[in-house]
Structure 1
Amino acid sequence: MFNIQEELKKMPDKPGVYIMKDENGQIIYIGKAVVLKNRVRQYFQSSANMTPKVKAMVARIAEFEYIVTHSELEALILECNLIKKHKPKFNILLKDDKTYPYIKVTMNEEYPRVLMTRRLEKDGAKYFGPYSNVTAVRETIDLLKKLFPIKTCNRVFPRDVGKERPCLNFHIYQCLGPCQGNVNKEEYRNLMKDICSFLAGKHEEVIDKLEHQMNELAESLNFEKAASLRDKIRGLKHVAEKQKVLSTAMEDQDVIAYAKNETDSCIQVFFIRGGKLLGREHFIFEGVGEVEDKELITSFVKQFYSSTSFIPHEILLQGDIDELNIIEKWLTDKRAGKVYIKVPRKGDKHKLIEMVSQNAVFALNQFRDKIQRDQTMSKDGLSELAQLLELKEFPHRIEAYDISNTGTSEIVASMVVFENGSPANREYRRFKIKSVEGQNDYGSMQETIYRRFKPREEENSKGINKFSKMPELILIDGGLGHINAVKEVMNSMGVSIPAYGMVKDDKHRTRGLMSQAGEISFEKNINAFRLVTAIQDEAHRFAVDYNRKLREMRYRKSALDEVPGIGPKRKKALIKHFGSVSKIKEAGIDDLEAVDGITNAIALKIYEFFH
């Protein structure tokens, strides 16, 4: 039995991380402390000054652990990693933990390329970004390829010179063709330097240089090349005009501000590179409207910069944060260059903060409006659906089922749940079909429905209670045949819940609902149509995801990996042909030879391996 008061007496007066757990052993909160003994004790003293959130968390603490570190900086890094791994309920969590795209110019190669990446490496290449979305990166790279005749292939020069014919880009004058071996390396690298200058925001330098070249060509009567440069200059000016200058200091900055309402918070980040706005991103934190500003922004900064690849020279914040000095030191070490965190009170930088804060307010209002629209649509959709199907009960809980299979293996089913018109992700279930051989959707659906509604006594004897809630409506991905198969099982089990099929048109889009009496059209019930479409799409997605996961696991590791001469391609062909490794074991040499890519010698090796 864990005695909290006794364990508090044993707490060390050293820096470290503490981990709070509930009665089930689930981690509910992770924090760091300069002195563990003092920080953890505060939770179990007077609750008068505690926020409602902290009170609720403390009431659930059944035990705690702690990890002692050598320094506060080590504790900070460990805290960030543990929060990212465990995602405790009472921590402020950054759900959108993604890596941002960058443009990489491989100046470490003799003939560099321009490409997109999400990883920053110390490899001698130049990186530009981050960009807020992949589309912006691709559009920029496509434009650069049109304006500058650079190579887009992965060939390494001069190693691969002359090995293959020049590609189409060379013949349409969109590549200088270094693959032929007659392109001057310095001339090509100067071209790449212009691209780097342009990506760094030095548009004027690049444009001035190109205009000078254009004038020289025109003076020498080379009007065709001069016209080509003129078009290139126009394209560059168009891009330059779209990038707004926000900082005359021409610095790399992240500007972070926030907005809050009664229930939710929004943090907005502007990425400024070389004084120009390169992109922006906002993050919504649901259910943390009451959290103190300092706690919100501190948690965000730690989580955001623990996963991002690039850290700018300067970070501007709307408000003060806890542990400023230690966070600044952590980011400086991570960047391998000085990082300044500032809270500007006046001047141009303060105006930047105000602009970002205003954008955070707009984003939060849009989120609130979307939630209200979704709730209204769900409510209207459920009301229309109940009326359309003449249901005796309002369908507060809807369960939808779909089957996914590839060939004769990995047949799976999904069960998704919508409660009050919204996805209840924690209620989702998935099934690996066991009793059906081959592609038999009806039999697979019957097994799924039986396992879902099998008598509660069977489950209780095994200590399982996966399906404690019952739906008011069942939707099946399929037509009349599926409904008849499902109804047969439900009737035999004494389950009397309305069940309908979700039928699709020729373009695989939701068309209507199918009952044993015939098809039901949505006609003017647009909200019901939208709701059923969302349910059908979600059931399909969940089934396909599970199917894909099982296939990847099967292809990733099997006994075939130990057979000499069997690589990923042959392994995939064998499993696709036979359906499973056990069937491959039973196959004869002639059967194995029938598979694409399997020669007599390879078939003999497989047979001998298993026999």
Structure 2
Amino acid sequence: MTDPSTYRPAPGSIPTDPGVYKFRDPAGRVVYVGKAKNLRARLSNYFQDLSQLHPRTRQMVTTAASVEWTVVASEVEALQLEYTWIKRFDPRFNVKYRDDKTYPVLAVSTGERIPRAFFYRGPRRKGVRYFGPYSHAWAVRETLDLLTRVFPVRTCSKGVYNRHETLGRPCLLGYIDKCSAPCVGKVSEEEHREIVHGFVRFMAGHTDAVIRDLSAQMHEAAAAMDFEKAARLRDDLQAVQKITEQQAVVLGDGTDADVVGVHADELEASIQMFHVRAGRIRGQRGWIVERTADSDEELAELVQNFLIQFYSDAVEQENITADTEQKVARRGVDQLSHNSTPWSRDDGVHQVVPREVLVDVEPEDAKHTKQMLSDLRGAQVDLRIPQRGDKKALLETVQKNAKDALRQHKMKRISDLTARSQALQELQEALGLEQAPLRIECTDISHIQGTDVVASLVVFEDGLAKKSDYRRFKIKEAAGDGHSNDVASIAEVTRRRFLRYKEDALAMPEEPDEARFADESAPKREQRFAYPPQLFVVDGGAPQVAAAQEVLDELGVVDVALIGIAKRLEEVWIPGDDEPLILPRNSQAMYLIQQLRDEAHRFAIQFHRQQRSKRMRESELDKVHGLGDARRKELVKHFGSVKKLKQASVEDIAQVRGFGPKLAQACFDALHPE
């Protein structure tokens, strides 16, 4: 581990200009690349007291052995240079944007002598044009099957193509006119490429011209009494219309836009992007990225870096594809003018960088980010947060997708048997336990300014939630004065939970045979808490942990390990330790602990909302003379909620069983005070 003070630049030697900097390790490898408006101000942050740095930043500066920088003329140049260096050096401490899943796409090998269309899933390659991504593999295959009726492009592999070229007869698709069969010379290479051009143009969003041409040809065939051809064209037209209808119109003004939504927790962020072209959703993609800090500033920087990397990569790939196609054209395979092709460079770049980029988090440097995107497109790009209307509604949908993607990502990790086993083993080693904590319980407190204070207790066994053992607590002693006291609340929950454990343990028969001769008519009590957890987790830091440990000592519970989880930096606090334990942020143990805490938090908030709603309901109806518990329950049951009850008239309330006009009027007056 390196001491950062040994390679700290001399005071005043760092310029105050914008620029890009690199940290290198002792072997000279670049471990981190960053940009700054003011190099001196930014770099000085890395050389402060190590205890004040984020754990990831602390690890980076102690791994590095030197720092160097390059001054640039503007902040836009700094953005561009940072992207270039990240692509070149792939630094280990820079944030990685990884797809949350591998999406299927429809690919067209435009770089081949005889292009083909095919289903594809994986990394992008040179000389291939991609359309999508699609949410399901069957959607790609259905689209390809329908389009080959209108554009009979080659879909077979190279081996199949060569075999039929040798045999001199086409495959089945060639016989049923779903392939133009260039393998046997049914069409020339130039004619086949013309068909591919139409296919690509349609997939790029130019659907109106195709539908118009098919309609005109169908009517011409019908007028010429060629009904067989007209019927075939009618079927082709229906196939094309089916594909376009599958892409729902979400923006009626025909907008070209990418909509980016972000949902984040303390450890990771989920980014979802909807591609909208001509007002229709053409594709959807998602990424999961590890966070380096839990702050709005870090999230804004994350969004900025994502936009720059995504669109720069997309334009670079588009340029590579265009160059490949030009080489094919120069070999004489494509006799068409390159400027007239549907995948010309300008058209392609405008497809990957749209007119509008709608976000829910403003990038750190929105002005220069917008300028860089405009430079990539070669035209003005509008980067903004929509405030109202259809675009705002669509952004909310993208945000919901981002939230669901992050939840599924975490559930997938923790539901995997190998990951769960690894998480329990890591916890055992980190906490020094004698055995892996197969049963873990976690508690959390929820309230609003000390009112309706409640607590939750969630249970995980073998790394999975056991909801049948969840418990909810109404806090009594700690909330008696109407003020919040999380420490006392944690102590109360711990005492009540482990008193129940001791009671259940004493009630259990000492000998197994006693259970066989027990009185079956006697009331049975479920003894789910007769066994203690191996690990008890409280939501909080050192004070909460100390309060819970004091209760365990008081009750003589010595076979339960106790920790606290603090939200600020996901610190794990152990009783008696002055410093927290920092688990690796990407470890399975940290994901399990976070899942526990989040589940306890969700369960506590749910119970708190129920209690608050009940209190509000009861406070309003308690004023009604002659309204007992039975009639109150009947009233709420009939209308379903207090909101609907308040909207009801006196006549509506009088329709409830047990209510007359006088009582209905009293209820109405109580719910509508003057």
TM-score (norm 1): 0.51
Residue 381 of structure 1 and its aligned partner are, at CA, apart by 12
Partner of 1:457: none
How many pairs does the alignment contain? 382
Contact 1:20/1:61 (CA < 8 Å) preserved in 2?
no
Aligned partner letter, 2:304: T
* 2:241 maps to 1:261: no
Question: Once the 2 structures are TM-superposed, how far is the Cα of residue 26 of structure 1 from its aligned partner?
Answer: 6.4
Q: Which moved more, 1:351-360 or 1:8-17?
A: 8-17
Partner of 1:337: 379
After TM superposition, give the deviation of residue 166 of structure 1 in Å. 6.4
Structure 1 partner of 2:389? 347
Q: Percentage identity across aligned positions?
A: 33
Is 1:56 the counterpart of 2:62? The answer is no
1:230 is paired with a residue of what secondary structure? helix
Aligned: 1:145 with 2:187: no
Q: 2:23 aligns with which of 13, 20, 23?
A: 20
Per-residue CA deviations over 1:467-501 (Å, capped at 9, x if unaligned) read: xxxxxxxxxxxxxxxxxxxxxxxxxxxxxxxxxxx
- Whichever residue aligns with residue 353 of structure 2, its letter is P
Deviations for 1:350-400, whole angstroms, at most 9, x for unmatched residues?
Answer: 2221110011111111122223322697449999xxxxxxxxx9799xxxx
Stretches of structure 1 that go unaligned for 5 or more consecutive residues are 156-161, 384-392, 397-419, 422-611
Could you tell me how far 1:133 is from its partner in structure 2? 7.4
Evaluate the alpha carbon distance shift between residue 192 and residue 19 of structure 1 in structure 2; reply closer, same or farther with a 3 A threshold: closer
Deviation at 1:341, TM superposition (A): 1.8
Residues 282-293 of structure 1 aligned to structure 2 (within 5 Å): 282-286=286-290, 288=292, 290-292=294-296, 293=299
- Tell me how far apart the structure 2 counterparts of residues 211 and 68 of structure 1 sit (CA, whole Å): 60
CA 1:251 to 1:200, structure 2 compared with 1: closer, same or farther past 3 Å?
Answer: farther
Does residue 1:299 correspond to 2:341, yes or no?
no
- How far apart are residue 270 of structure 1 and its match? 0.9
Give yes or no for the alignment of 1:11 onto 2:52. Answer: no
Inter-CA distance 3–380: structure 2 relative to 1 (3 Å threshold):
closer
Contact 1:128–1:200 (CA under 8 A) maintained in structure 2:
no
Name the CA distance, whole Å, in 2 between partners of 1:119 and 1:327.
25
1:68 to 67, 70, 74: 70
Deviations 1:492-544, CA, capped at 9 Å, x for gaps: xxxxxxxxxxxxxxxxxxxxxxxxxxxxxxxxxxxxxxxxxxxxxxxxxxxxx
Superposed displacement of residue 266, structure 1:
0.7
Inter-partner Cα distance in structure 2 for 1:189 and 1:171: 20
Which of structures 1 and 2 has the bigger CA Rg? 2
Contact 1:99–1:307, Cα closer than 8 Å, also in 2: no
CA distance in 1, matches of 2:57, 2:174: 68
Q: Note the 1:340-419 alignment, pairs <5 A.
A: 340-374=382-416, 378-379=420-421
Confirm or deny: 8 A CA contact 2:101 2:286 kept in the other structure.
no
Q: Which residue of structure 2 aligns with residue 417 of structure 1?
A: none
Q: Which residue of 2 aligns with 1:317?
A: 359
Matched-pair contact (CA < 8 Å) for 2:134–2:284: yes
Matched, 1:228 2:269: no
Residues 342 and 51 (structure 1 numbering): CA distance in 2 closer, same or farther, change over 3 Å?
farther
**Residue 60 of structure 1 aligns to a residue in which SS?**
helix
One-letter identity of the residue aligned with 1:70: V
> CA offset at residue 257 of structure 1?
0.8
User: How far does residue 42 in structure 1 lie from its aligned partner after superposition?
Assistant: 3.3
SS in structure 2 at match of 1:9: coil
Cα distance in 1, alignment partners of residues 308 and 410 from structure 2: 26
- Pair 1:186–1:211, CA change in 2 (3 A): farther
What corresponds to 1:463 in structure 2?
A: none
CA-CA distance at 1:268 after TM superposition: 0.7
Take 2:261 and 2:30, find their aligned partners in 1: how far apart are those partners? Answer: 30
Mapped partners of 1:56, 1:101: distance in 2: 39
Residues 302 and 163 (structure 1), Cα distance of their counterparts in 2 relative to 1, 3 Å cut: same
- Measure the CA separation in 1 of the matches of 2:196 and 2:63: 59
Distance 1:190 1:26 in 2: 49
Contact 2:149 2:178 in 1 (8 A): yes
Alpha-carbon distance change, 247 to 46 in structure 1, aligned in 2, over 3 angstroms? farther
Report the more deviating stretch, 304-313 or 259-268.
304-313
Cα gap change, 1:306 to 1:133, in 2 (>3 Å): farther
Flag the 1:62–1:194 CA change in 2: closer, same or farther, 3 A: closer
SS of the aligned residue for 1:332 comes to helix
Unaligned runs of 5+ in 2: 159-164, 319-351, 426-433, 438-461, 464-674
Aligned runs of 1:21-40 on 2, under 5 Å?
21=24, 27-40=30-43
Alignment correspondent of 1:206: 210
Report the CA distance shift for 1:99/1:368 in structure 2 as closer, same or farther (over 3 A).
closer
Cα pair distance change 1:290/1:90, threshold 3 Å: farther
Going from structure 1 to structure 2, the CA distance change for 1:8 and 1:283 (only over 3 Å counts) comes to: farther
Residue equivalent to 2:513: none
Contact 1:265 1:288 in 2 (8 A): no
Partner residue of 2:590?
A: none
Contact 1:18/1:64, CA 8 A, preserved across alignment: no
> Are the counterparts in 1 of residues 99 and 287 from structure 2 also a CA contact under 8 Å?
yes
TM-score by length of 2: 0.47
CA contact (8 A) 1:270 1:280 kept: yes
1:273 aligns with 2:286: no
- Give the match for residue 242 of structure 1: 246
Aligned to 2:529: none
Tell me if the contact between 1:149 and 1:175 (Cα under 8 Å) persists in the aligned partners: yes
**SS of 1:131 mapped into structure 2:** coil
Distance of aligned partners of 1:154 and 1:189 in 2 relative to their CA distance in 1, 3 Å threshold: same
Structure 2: how far apart are the matches of 1:371 and 1:104?
A: 30
- Superposed CA offset, 1:555-608 (max 9, x none): xxxxxxxxxxxxxxxxxxxxxxxxxxxxxxxxxxxxxxxxxxxxxxxxxxxxxx
Question: What displacement does 1:246 show?
Answer: 1.9
Instruction: Kindly indicate whether the alpha-carbon contact (under 8 Å) linking 2:275 and 2:282 is maintained by their aligned counterparts in 1.
Output: yes
Q: C-alpha distance in 2, partners of 1:88/1:178?
A: 47
Q: How far off its partner does 1:303 sit?
A: 2.8
* Aligned residue runs from structure 1 range 440-519, under 5 A: none
What is the Cα-based RMSD across aligned positions, in Å? Answer: 4.8
Q: Indicate how the Cα distance of structure 1 residues 355 and 51 shifts in structure 2: closer, same or farther if over 3 A, else same.
A: farther
How much does 1:181 deviate? 8.2
